Amino acid sequence: MCIRDRNPAVALMISAPDRAEEVARCRSMGFVEYFLKPIDPKRLLALVEQLAGYDSCDELEEEKVVEPQDAVVARRFLVAEDSPISRKVVVNLLKRQGHEVMTAANGMEAVMAVGRRRFDGVFMDVNMPDMDGLQATNLIREREQGSERHVWIIALTAQALNGDRERCLAAGMDDYLSKPIRLPELSEAIQRIPAPPTRSEAEGGRIFNGSASGGFDVLGSMRLIELAMEEVVRGRHQIAESIAKNSAIELENSSHRLKGVLQQCQLNKEAELAGRLEAFGRDGCLVPATEVFAALVKGLTRVDDVLENQRQKLIQTGAEPGSD
Q: What are the extents of the domains in the chain?
A: 10-55, 72-209, 219-316
Distance, in Å, from the CA atom of 64 to the CA atom of 61, rounded to the nearest integer, reads 6
Query: What is residue 169's predicted lDDT score, i.e. its pLDDT?
Result: 87
Query: What is residue 34's predicted lDDT score, i.e. its pLDDT?
Result: 65
Contact 80, 124 (CB under 8 A): yes
Distance, in Å, from the CA atom of 115 to the CA atom of 39, rounded to the nearest integer, reads 40
Query: What is residue 36's predicted lDDT score, i.e. its pLDDT?
Result: 63
Query: What is residue 203's predicted lDDT score, i.e. its pLDDT?
Result: 44
C-alpha 39, offset from chain centre? 26
Residues 6+ apart with CB under 8 A from 182: none
**Residue 64 CB-density burial (10 A; 0-12 exposed, 13-18 middle, 19+ buried):** exposed
C-alpha 27, offset from chain centre? 26
Query: What is residue 39's predicted lDDT score, i.e. its pLDDT?
Result: 63
Low-confidence ranges of the chain (pLDDT < 70): 1-24, 27, 30-72, 159-162, 196-220, 319-324
Instruction: Give the angle 267-292-17 at the CA atoms, nearest 5°.
Output: 150
Is domain 72-209 given the CATH code 3.40.190.120 in the classification?
Answer: no
SS3 state of residue 322: coil
Distance, in Å, from the CA atom of 76 to the CA atom of 119, rounded to the nearest integer, reads 5
Query: What is residue 75's predicted lDDT score, i.e. its pLDDT?
Result: 92
Q: How many CB atoms lie within 10 A of CB 24?
A: 14
Phi and psi angles of residue 122, each rounded to the nearest 5 degrees, phi first:
-125, 125
Could you write out the DSSP letters of every residue in 203-261? HSS-STTB-TTS-B-GGG-HHHHHHHHHHHHHHHHHHHHHHHHT-HHHHHHHHHHHHHH
SS3 state of residue 124: strand
Rounded to two decimals, the pTM is: 0.56
Contact 218, 225 (CB under 8 A): yes
Its sign, for the CA torsion 221, 227, 228, 229, is positive
Q: How many CB atoms lie within 10 A of CB 5?
A: 7
72-209 and 219-316: identical CATH topology: no
Alpha helices in 10-56 (DSSP H): 19-28, 41-52
Fold classification of 219-316 (topology level): Four Helix Bundle (Hemerythrin (Met), subunit A) (1.20.120)
Contact 156, 181 (CB under 8 A): yes
Query: What is residue 164's predicted lDDT score, i.e. its pLDDT?
Result: 77
Nearest to 196 by CA among 99, 140, 119, 141: 119
